[in-house]
Structure formats: structure tokens, C-alpha cells
């Protein structure tokens, strides 16, 4: 099981801040494909990966990173702190 | 080193005085305060969302790097989240060092990294709708100088 978190407009498009999923996805890209196939709102949120960032266990990561052993995946737009 | 991620307002002057009083042997203290601006005159509020678990660890890592790289005596970061009114203080950074160049540079480094590597997202609530603030290419490009 993996916790998947969504922030900012990704959260608004998908319509929830977090969910716990059972998945066999090997990489982040696989997980995105799995979610996008599930419902239109996911496909919409993940339609442009250039405008998305991913963190694995609260560390910025890349879309081709493996998910094995990861407990928390977070998707969000580029950060706007400061 | 002190980091506070908080919803409530802070007093930048009092924070700076306390920070300065707490450093020993530093010849220079530099501080920066970020303020909610309202360029068009139509902003009702700025809503700042963050990723509670990651915010602390991401900023701590950035501060650790600044402390080491510029041999700082001390560093302070305060960053707010929640709904902020125009004119409100969003965040502040302070650095203390033996010499001013290191303090200035480290403060700029912290600001550049907080902008694009600390998990905050800003949403502008205007008189006619709300919009997420988009990250700027130049903010990402600013990281390459470090």
C-alpha cells in the first residue's frame, strides 16, 4: 500500500488531498499511467508532466524513479515559496 | 539555526533583534522579509498551501547547506502558510557571518532555494476569481548560479 498525496491545482483537479492505494506500479510513470486510466480527472491532472513534480517519501524525485519500498508519493506543481 | 513554519503572523523587527542578540562573534547580519504584494489592486488574499511533512525537512536541508558553505554563525527562516492579506509578511530569512559578503550571499542562496525547492504553493484570491501563482523560469534558472 502506498499513500498518494496531491497539492495545489493537482489536488483541486483530482478532488482529494490524499488516498491510499494498492498498486503494483514499478515506477512513478507506471503509477501515473495506472491512475490516468482509472478516471478522467486523473488523466486531466497528469496530462502535462512538464508542469508536475513528484516527491517520494518527502524527497523530490524523478518520474522514472522506482517505487519499491516507497510509502508516500506526492504530486504537485512547481513550488512557489519565498 | 532556527526554522519556523507557521500560520500566525510574526514580528520581523523583534525576530531580527532576537537573532542578532543571539549570535556571538559575527560581524554581519543580513535579513530579507517577503511581503504579499498587490500589483493590480484587486488582491483580496494570498493563500499559501504547503506539504507539512516535507516543508520542514526540505528547508532544514537548504539551511544546513548554507551554514556549511558560507561558514555562517547562525541562520533563521520563518515561513507562513494559510490566508494572508496584502501587505502581510510572508516570510523572513536572516544570516549571520563574520563578514558581510558571506551573509549577503547565503541570504540570497536561501531565498533562491526557498522559492523553487521548498514545498509551498501560492494562490491569489482576487476580486473576480482565484488563480495559482505559476513558477517562473527565471526562478529555476537562478539556482544554476549556486
Backbone angles phi, psi at B9, to 5 degrees: -65, 165
Query: What pLDDT is attached to residue B26?
Result: 92
Residues in chain B: 146
| Contact between residue A8 and residue A74 where contact means Cβ atoms under 8 Å apart | no
| CB-based contact B51 A76, cutoff 8 Å | yes
| Contact between residue B97 and residue B73 where contact means Cβ atoms under 8 Å apart | yes
How many domains does chain B fold into? 1
Q: How far is A38 from chain B (nearest CA, A)?
A: 25
Distances in whole angstroms, Cα of residue B98 to Cα of each of B36, B59, B92, B103: 32, 23, 20, 8
Q: Which residues on A lie below 8 Å from B91 (Cβ)?
A: 81-82
Q: Distance of alpha carbon B45 from its chain centroid, rounded? A: 18
Query: What pLDDT is attached to residue B24?
Result: 86
| Domain containing residue A67: CATH number | 3.10.20.30
Q: For residue A71, what are the domain limits?
A: 2-76
Of A58, A59, A76, the CB nearest to B121: A76
> pLDDT averaged over chain B?
95
Query: What pLDDT is attached to residue B95?
Result: 98
Please list the pLDDT of chain B residue by residue as tens digits (146 residues).
999 999 999 999 999 999 999 998 899 999 999 999 988 889 999 999 999 999 999 999 999 999 999 999 999 999 999 999 999 999 999 999 999 999 999 999 999 999 999 999 999 999 989 999 999 989 988 999 99
| Contact between residue B122 and residue A80 where contact means Cβ atoms under 8 Å apart | yes
| CB-based contact A5 B51, cutoff 8 Å | yes
Mutate to test the interface with B, among A9, A61, A82 (most CBs of B within 10 A): A82
What gap in Å lies between CA B14 and CA B96, rounded to an integer?
16
Query: What pLDDT is attached to residue B40?
Result: 83
Query: What pLDDT is attached to residue B39?
Result: 82
Distances in whole angstroms, Cα of residue B50 to Cα of each of B34, B99, B106: 17, 34, 24
Which segments of chain A have a pLDDT < 70? none
Residue A11 domain-assigned?
A: yes
Residue A62 domain-assigned?
A: yes
Instruction: Say which residue the cell 490516468 belongs to.
Output: A36
How many domains does chain A fold into? 1
ipTM, two decimals, is: 0.95
| Domain containing residue B98: CATH number | 3.90.1170.40
Amino acid at each position: 500500500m502506498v499513500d498518494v498525496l496531491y497539492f495545489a491545482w493537482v489536488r483541486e483537479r483530482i478532488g482529494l488531498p490524499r488516498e491510499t492505494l494498492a498498486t503494483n506500479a514499478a515506477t512513478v510513470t507506471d503509477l501515473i499511467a495506472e491512475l490516468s486510466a482509472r478516471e478522467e480527472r486523473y488523466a486531466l491532472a497528469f496530462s502535462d508532466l512538464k508542469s508536475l513534480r513528484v516527491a517520494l517519501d518527502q524527497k523530490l524525485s524523478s518520474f522514472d524513479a522506482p517505487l519499491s519500498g516507497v510509502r508516500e508519493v506526492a504530486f504537485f506543481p512547481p513550488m512557489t515559496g519565498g | 539555526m532556527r526554522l519556523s513554519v507557521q500560520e500566525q503572523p510574526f514580528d520581523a523587527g523583534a525576530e531580527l533583534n532576537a537573532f542578532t542578540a543571539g549570535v556571538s562573534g559575527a560581524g554581519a547580519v543580513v535579513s530579507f522579509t517577503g511581503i504579499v504584494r498587490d500589483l493590480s489592486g484587486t488582491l483580496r488574499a494570498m493563500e499559501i498551501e504547503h506539504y507539512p511533512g516535507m516543508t520542514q525537512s526540505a528547508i532544514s536541508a537548504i539551511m544546513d547547506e548554507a551554514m556549511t558553505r558560507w561558514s555562517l554563525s547562525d541562520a533563521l527562516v520563518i515561513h507562513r502558510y494559510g490566508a494572508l492579506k496584502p501587505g502581510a509578511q510572508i516570510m523572513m530569512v536572516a544570516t549571520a557571518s563574520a563578514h558581510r559578503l558571506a551573509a549577503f550571499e547565503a541570504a540570497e542562496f536561501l531565498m533562491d532555494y526557498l522559492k523553487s525547492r521548498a514545498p509551498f504553493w501560492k494562490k491569489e484570491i482576487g476580486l473576480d476569481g482565484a488563480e495559482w501563482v505559476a513558477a517562473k523560469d527565471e526562478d529555476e534558472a537562478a539556482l544554476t548560479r549556486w
